[in-house]
Amino acid sequence: MAGRVDAIFLALIAFSLFFTFAICFLIIYFAVKYRRGSKADRTTTAHSGALMEFLWVFIPFVIVMGLFVWATIVYYHQYRAPDDAFEIYVLGRQWMWELKHPEGKKEINELHVPLGRAVRLTMTSQDVIHSFYVPAFRIKQDVLPERYTSVWFRPTKTGTYHLFCAEYCGTRHSGMIGSVIVMDPVDYESWLANGLEPESMAASGAKLFRTLGCSGCHDVNSTVRAPLLDGVYGHPVPLETGQIVTADERYVRDSILLPKSQVVAGFKPVMPTFQGRIDEDELLKVIAYIKSLGKNVRVER
Amino acid sequence: MSATIEEVETQRTEENYLTADYGIWSWFFTTDHKRIGIMYMISITFFFFLGGAAATLMRLELMTPGGDVVQAETYNKLFTLHGVMMIFFFLVPSIPAVLGNFLLPIMIGARDLAFPKINLASWYFYMVGGLFTVWAILAGGVDTGWTFYTPYSTMFSNTSVILAVVGVFINGFSSIFTGLNFLVTVHKMRAPGMTWFRLPLFVWAMYATSIILVLATPVIAVAMFLIILERSFGVGIFNPKLGGDPILFQHLFWFYSHPVVYVMILPGMGVVSEIVACFARRAVFGYKFMAYALLAIAVIGFLVWGHHMFVSGQSMYGSMVFSMLSFLVAIPSAIKIFNWTATIHKGSLSFDTPMLYALGFIGLFTIGGLTGLMLASLAIDVHVHDTYFVVAHFHYIMVGSAVMAYLGGLHFWWPKMTGRMYPEIWGKLSALVVFVGFNLTFFPQFVLGYLGMPRRYYEYPAEFQVLNVMSTAGASILAVGYVLPLIYLVLSLWLGPKVGSNPWNATGLEWQTSSPPPKHNFDVTPVVKEPPYAYSEERNLT
């Protein structure tokens, strides 16, 4: 992806150099030739210049629209994560990055990833707006409080790369830096296995699902009528209002914190809010658990 | 008896706006657009050097990768101070409130602006806004950046945000008053024969600028007001913890702050058109296209604010639309560059100080505009957004272009405003110093940005040091280039040779009245009989 971005950049540099040198050359050439007192021919033809004006509207127009289309196509691919991407959760806060692997391993200001595999980051902030920026991968995405944003990359070379916070976030903004370490897949596996084997994100989420009492209603054996969550993630959900929304991270989050805002069609708004009872870290775990409930099975109640 | 009357008559013609009245109150209560222009000039110069001092300290801090000159908190306050002072209290009022105030009525043959008292009120609002901002500095400073992004500014910063925001809010009224005044004046007060397509391009530029000032400024005022509501009274508007939306603030902020970039550059384009025509002794090529291009930039400029938010989390398709519209702004800008180049073709060129600044403007604006295309490209912007690439780009537009144009215009009309000529040698020298210093300061920042150095960084990885040292070295040269004119222009008030009404032998009504102009600009209302820039062989010879 970095190569494709650089290609546009180089094309634009070439275009800009041509344009700048052409203008500078003309200005300097005219400045010398038509300096006051020079003997240059100054008789002007009578044409209105309308043709010239048309040409220098039309030609730049075609060029910039071409550039627009090219850059937009690359952006589209930058924006859409491939389906095989594995997920890492990112929590930004003044002034550090917290990164969680699906297997449960947690890192601070460092992110280890295997070479060649697409990585999708699901990110949120605990306080102000931050921005996840890895210059070497040409990616950047703001990280917002109370909302999930995502960005993806596929590392193509092992090594250690800068990770910066790019959105000004207070006193130690320039200290909110770290590194992305791209490892050989074998090394990555041993790195992941190294040390105490923690619980995976989804397993922690499953525990929370029980301790917070979610399973009391959202379970097949429950007496309270609530939607089952197997296979919900990533699928369209019909709402009481007649709207249909996709069950993404944001929807799951809103359903936990603001359960009355988007009630599933056919159900009553009886769920209490979990605002204040669950923190950002736990939310990400519950979301990981709900994601793990299978994207392809759909159980009707 | 009749002899006495004649004597009085000659005295009256020699009297000018500077000598018409004496004493400090004759300035503070004046409604003369020329005097208000001078008052603005003195005030913006103060704020310019205040903002410049902050920039100097920042560049010193950035000479080394680690933090050493100042603390991180101080650094953050310095770049906030620099941005707020330079944008709201220098660049926005610079050409409109100084040169525009002074020249616009004279250029269209009017005795004053349509609402002289509102014009005076504009200066007072500007000063009160400025004092609030200075108060914010004295109270310990502000560390939010000039962008005041939420929720940092409303819920997290522990600095004097409210004072600075109130300052910006009040200052907004001065912009609106000036814009309103210009619009009405251009519509209603043109001299006989001064039709729309006989207006100098400087007046067209002021007209386009005024449209933006009147339509966009209320939005920043509202955004600032909402910040006060949320920060002081906890009304949830932007903070998601209170049910607000932080992105909403960015939309409101850039809905003003992008068009306001054109408030800084359009007047510069107007100034450069006047200067290029005069020193090439030719009518501006494609005059009507130049006028329409100014209006086109003003209109399209309102529709591109979202290009500041490509990585903010706004919708992908929204970003695509904003990207396309941003590319479109390049077209009218390109028209202007081509037409200036065509204007000097077959001209009879001389290279006095104003012309050097104007040619420098064209070169730097070309670079600023082309790097703008790179930023409009979605895929590239994702990478360079919030890096030094953006810093370099907008300094090419707002310092390289807008300040060059302001200085060029100041030299061009200095003899008209003061009746004295500045020293030409010093003028040329400082124009050269500014050009060299500027490029050395900001060109390395393009490279820094593409290599990935984020902006607003107090400390940075050591690999970026060489380019930062170059930039700091350039800044010291640039500082000399800005202090020199301050010294020789002030000295020229006493030492400069007196000039007649038209030292440049230029067209335009402002050159037909005496220098400095009389209190009511013209002894007899002028009648316009020719198109603008009627430079001809005969006029060239004189």
Q: What is the pLDDT of residues B435-461, one digit of tens each?
A: 999 999 999 999 999 999 999 999 999
Token output for A251: 């929807």
Q: Which of A193, A220, A240 is the last residue of a domain?
A: A193
Residue A179 lies in a domain: yes
Asked if A11 has any chain B CB less than 8 Å from its own CB, the reply is no
Tell if the CB–CB gap between A16 and B370 is shorter than 8 Å.
yes
Tell me if A297 is assigned to some domain. no
Domain count, chain A: 3
DSSP string, A135-165: GGGTEEEEE-BTS-EEEEE---S-EEEEEEE
Write out pLDDT tens, residues B489-499.
Answer: 999 999 999 99
Q: Which residues of B touch A24 (CB under 8 A)?
A: 363, 366
Contact status, residue B397 vs residue B264, Cβ threshold 8 Å: yes
For residue A159, give the CATH number of its domain.
Answer: 2.60.40.420
Report chain B's mean pLDDT, rounded to a whole number.
92
Residue B4 confidence (pLDDT): 46
Same domain? For A259 and A167 the reply is no
Q: Are A151 and A54 in a shared domain?
A: no
Q: Judge if A156 and A123 occupy the same domain.
A: yes
- Residue range A58-116, pLDDT digits in tens: 998 999 999 999 999 999 988 888 888 889 999 999 999 999 988 888 889 999 999 99
Q: Do the domain assignments include residue A27? A: yes
In angstroms, rounded to a whole number, what is the distance separating the alpha carbons of residues B386 and B73?
Answer: 19
Residue A250 domain boundaries:
201-292
B327 has a chain A CB within 8 A of its CB: yes
Q: Which helix (H) or strand (E) holds B476?
A: helix B465-495
Nearest residue, CB atoms, A34 vs list B246, B344, B459: B344
Confidence of residue B129 (pLDDT cuts 50, 70, 90): very high
Distances (CA, A) of B435 to A272, B95, B438, B446: 65, 19, 5, 17
Which of B359, B378, B454 comes nearest A166 by C-beta? Answer: B454
What pLDDT shows up at residue B7?
A: 46
Which pair of structure tokens corresponds to residue A1?
A: 């992806």
ipTM summary value = 0.89
Mutate to test the interface with B, among A1, A129, A163 (most CBs of B within 10 A): A129
Task: Tell me if B452 and A61 make a contact (CB, 8 A cut-off).
Answer: no
Integer Cα distance of A174 and A164 in angstroms: 8
pLDDT for B401-429, tens place per residue? 999 999 999 999 999 999 999 999 999 99
Q: Which of B369, B268, B289 is nearest to B326 (CA)?
A: B369
A148 within domain boundaries:
yes
Domain final position from A193, A211, A236: A193
- Looking at chain A from residue 31 to 50, which residues have their Cβ under 8 Å from any Cβ of chain B? 31, 34-37, 40-44, 49
pLDDT of residue A27: 92
Nearest CB to A131 within list B72, B311, B362:
B311
Type of residue at B245: D
The amino acid occupying position B473 is A
Is residue A25 domain-shared with residue A66, that is, in the same domain?
yes
Q: What stretches of chain A show up as alpha helix (H) in DSSP?
A: 2-33, 50-79, 185-193, 201-211, 249-257, 280-292
Q: Are residues A124 and A26 in the same domain?
A: no
Report whether A30 contacts B349 (CB < 8 A).
yes
Length of chain A, please? 301
Contacts of B347 in chain A (CB under 8 A): 30, 34, 42
Which residue, among A111, A151, A154, A106, has the nearest Cα to A131 in the 3D structure?
A151
The answer to whether position A13 is within a domain reads yes
Q: Which of A79, A95, A119 is the last residue of a domain?
A: A79
Kind and range of the H or E run holding A82: none
**A49 to B373: CB separation less than 8 angstroms, yes or no:** no
Which chain A residue has its CA at the smallest distance from B73's CA? A171
Do A94 and A184 fall within a single domain? yes
Q: Are B210 and B179 in contact (CB under 8 A)?
A: yes
Cα–Cα distance for residue pair B414/B421, rounded to 1 Å:
7
> Same domain for A183 and A93?
yes
Cβ of residue B312 closer than 8 Å to a chain A Cβ: yes
B191: left (phi > 0), else alpha (psi -120 to 50), else beta? beta
Chain B nearest-CA distance from A171, in A, is 5
Strand, coil or helix: B394: helix
A219 and A187 in one domain? no
Q: What angle do CA B185, B188, B191 make, to 5 degrees?
A: 90
Task: Determine the pLDDT at residue A208.
Answer: 86
Same domain, A53 and A130: no
Residue B36 scores a pLDDT above 50: yes
Query: Measured between CB atoms, does A69 come within 8 Å of chain B?
Result: no
How far, CA to CA in Å, does B45 sit from each of A192, B126, B238, B486, B493?
60, 13, 35, 9, 16
Contact A53 B378 (CB under 8 A): no
Both tokens assigned to A102: 């699906």
For B382, the closest of A19, A68, A75 (CB atoms) is: A75
Residue A36 has its nearest CB partner, among B320, B327, B349, at B349
By C-alpha distance, the chain B residue nearest A37 is B348
In tens, the pLDDT along A125-148 reads 999 999 999 999 999 999 999 899
Burial class (CB in 10 A: 0-12, 13-18, 19+), B270: buried
Domain of residue A286, CATH code: 1.10.760.10
Q: Is the CB of A64 less than 8 angstroms away from the CB of B319?
A: no
**CB nearest A8 (choices: B151, B337, B379):** B379
Residues 118-137 of A with CB under 8 A from B: 127-129, 131, 133, 135-136
Which chain A residue lies closest to B312 (C-alpha atoms)? A142
Same domain, A251 and A210: yes
Residue B6: pLDDT above 70? no
More confident of the two residues B432 and A209: B432
Contact B316 A76 (CB under 8 A): yes
Mean of pLDDT values over B344-368: 93
Q: Are residues A12 and A64 in the same domain?
A: yes
User: What Rg do the C-alpha atoms of chain A give, in angstroms?
Assistant: 27
- Least Cα distance to A156 among A171, A179, A132, A138 occurs for A138
* pLDDT bucket at A299, cuts 50 / 70 / 90: very low
| Tokens 């202090």 sit on residue | B483
Phi, psi for residue B100 in degrees, rounded to 5: -60, -50
pLDDT (0 to 100) of residue A79: 84
- The answer as to whether A41 is a domain residue is no
Do the chains contact at B156 and A60, CB–CB below 8 Å?
no
The predicted model scores a pTM of 0.90
Residue with tokens 């939306």: B245
Residue in B168, B117, B120 with CA at minimum distance from that of residue B142? B168
Short-list B463, B514, B347, B413, CA closest to B102: B413
Asked whether residue A36 is domain-assigned, the answer is no
Phi, psi of A88 (to 5 degrees): -125, 140
DSSP count for chain B of H helices, then E strands: 20, 0
Residues 6+ apart with CB under 8 A from B306: B251, B254, B314, B318, B319, B321, B322
**Do the chains contact at A138 and B460, CB–CB below 8 Å?**
no
B152 touches chain A (CB under 8 A): yes
User: Does residue B534 contact residue B283 with C-beta atoms inside 8 Å?
Assistant: yes
Residue A195 has pLDDT above 80, yes or no: no
Across residues B53-62, what is the average pLDDT? 95
Q: Which two tokens stand for residue B424?
A: 């030409």
Is residue A39 in a domain?
Answer: no
List residues bridging with A246 in a β-sheet.
A236
Q: Which domains does chain B have, with CATH numbers?
A: 39-541 (1.20.210.10)
Which residues, 6 or more positions from A229, have their beta carbon under 8 angstroms from its beta carbon?
A218, A290, A293
pLDDT digits (tens, 9 = 90+) for B497-535: 999 899 999 999 999 999 899 988 998 889 998 889 988
Binned at pLDDT 50, 70 and 90, residue A284 comes out as confident
Same domain, A219 and A245: yes
Q: Is A22 on the interface with B (CB under 8 A)?
A: no
Q: How far is B250 from chain A (nearest CA, A)?
A: 12
Note whether A8 contacts B: Cβ–Cβ < 8 A. yes
Mean pLDDT, rounded, for B71-85: 94
**B53 near A CB under 8 A:** no
Contacts of B536 in chain A (CB under 8 A): none
- Is B179's pLDDT higher than 90? yes
The answer to whether residue A44 scores a pLDDT higher than 80 is: no
Q: Is the pLDDT of residue B47 over 90?
A: yes
Give the rounded distance of the alpha carbon of A194 from its chain centre: 29
Is pLDDT at B542 greater than 50 in this prediction? Answer: no
Tell me the pLDDT tens digit for each residue of A209-225.
888 888 888 877 777 77
Q: Which residue type is seen at A131?
A: S
